[in-house]
Amino acid sequence: MSAADASLSSDHAVSPLDVEAIRRDFPIFSRTIRGQPLVFLDTAASAQKPRQVIDALLEFYESGYANIHRGIYQLSAEATTRFEGVRDTVQRFLGAADRREIVFVRNATEAINLVARSWGDAHLREGDEILISAMEHHANIVPWQMLCERVGSRLRVAPINERGELEVGAFEALLGERTKIVAITHVSNALGSIVPLHEIIPRAKSHGAMVLVDGAQAVPHAKVDVAALGCDFYAFSGHKLFGPTGSGVLYGRLPILEATPPFLGGGDMIETVSFERTTYAPVPQKFEAGTPDVAGVIGLGAAIDYLETIGLDRIELWESELLEYATEALEAIAGLRIIGTASDKAAVISFVLEGIHPHDIGTVLDQQGVAVRAGHHCAQPLMEVLGVPATVRASFSLYNTKQDVDALVKAIRTALELFA
């Protein structure tokens, strides 16, 4: 990632990661799959959880549990303090200017739907345009299509080149006075391509467009700084960040959130309610109707603490070493084609094997204890652009080793022999 996309600077020495020690933090690695050690290469779908996160959940349910924001008793006050403390953690983690810019949602999907519904319905009209890229996850396509159906606006799609890189020139050519919002991924879940946000956000801004970044695949891999990026919205899911399912974040610039109508209505998001009229709570509560996933948010806080203790710069360095090692190893396999060879890439490798369906490869790999994803990766339009029905995807994380890569290569060779 560039300096603007991530605060990592390569000019200071970063001490290497003790991967074996990290693996001991993840209880899942003590189990076997079909009698073999688990080789988990599907972190892009959801990350495994460290003991620190599991313990935070356990401790909260065992000795700290209560609903938040409404109780006048000690337990509720404590739970509220912990929940709101995570807002401060996320604010710092994302480099947001104000804690009120952090809205807790269930996942990235809900965050994007919130923006499309609440901000989109209020601001887009017939003929207005929404610009996305060809490598978006369905979560960053479908909510915008639904908005188009409601208000008569138009979805435009910026192309990618054969390496899976955004065509910045073509992207810019699609920007115009009708472009109301650019909704774009930070890192492609299917290809690993890192989008040069530092190049495209200023261009979008110069045309007066809002910018939403889908950061679901970016936050686990490198330090993100929303202020340096200059985006208006940034969305991510807690479960991909080693936190619990059901926890997610929408960052939104304060004046924009303040001027945006609520998403869901109900308890907690109001100031006063009568049968005639309701007034809304200030942000972020205005966007947090109903009982949130209190435990999930507390677990997310523990996950961020865990990652920050390790250091995202060290994680990024280890993952790029793994990516290089795995790319070389996979390229050496005859008949294997890597899909997505962007020059700036996160540790995700999609590939196809000549003559073998990705699902069959996934099944053979699973028999050898290697967990990968096979399919369209919730990016069907991208698969169409690439001319493949599906790919096998191996995604690497802080707990993966070079032995995991070797196990993947061995399992692929077995699949090749089986299907020869």
- Cβ neighbours for 272, distance < 8 A, ≥ 6 positions apart: 278, 279
Question: x/- binding map, residues 25-54, to ligand PMP, per CB under 6 A?
Answer: ------------------------------
C-alpha 358/C-alpha 199 separation (Å) is 35
- 32 DSSP β-pair partners: 37
Contact between 247 and ligand PMP (CB under 6 A)? no
Work out whether 185 is an interface residue with ligand PMP (CB under 6 A): yes
Q: How far is residue 90's CA from residue 313's CA, in Å, rounded to a whole number? A: 17
At 70, list the tokens: 């409404």
**Binding window for ligand PMP (CB under 6 A); candidates: 162-170, 196-204, 211-219, 409-417:** 211-219
Residue of 33, 174, 378, 385 marked active site:
378
**Measured distance CA(339)–CA(192) in Å, rounded:** 10
Give me the least distance between CB of 374 and ligand PMP, in Å please. Answer: 14
Q: Which of 217, 260, 341, 400 binds ligand PMP (CB under 6 A)?
A: 217
Compute the least distance from the CB of residue 185 to ligand PMP, in Å.
5
89 is a site residue for ligand PMP (CB under 6 A): no
Cβ nearer to ligand PMP, comparing 253 with 373:
373
Choices 17-25, 210-218, 353-361, 394-402 (CB under 6 A): range interacting with ligand PMP: 210-218
The binder of ligand PMP chosen from 113, 189, 260, 400 (CB under 6 A): 189
- To the nearest 10 degrees (0 to 180), the angle between helices 294-310 and 51-63 is 150
From 14, 151, 254, 378, residue interacting with ligand PMP (rule: CB under 6 A): 378
Size of the site for ligand PMP (CB under 6 A): 13
Binding mask 119-158 for ligand PMP (x = CB under 6 A): ------------------x-xx------------------
Q: Does 221 bind ligand PMP (CB under 6 A)?
A: no
Active site residue 378: yes
Query: Which residue in 268, 270, 266, 265 sits closest to 280, CA to CA?
Result: 270
H, E, C per residue of 129-188:
EEEEECCCCHHHCHHHHHHHHHHCCEEEEECECCCCCECHHHHHHHCCCCEEEEEEECEC
Strands (DSSP E) contained in 71-126 are 102-105
Query: Between vectors from CA 239 to CA 235 and to CA 241, what angle results, nearest 5°?
Result: 75
> DSSP 3-state assignment of 391?
strand
Site for ligand PMP, rule CB under 6 A: 107-109, 137, 139-140, 185, 189, 214, 216-217, 237, 378
Active site amino acids? 378
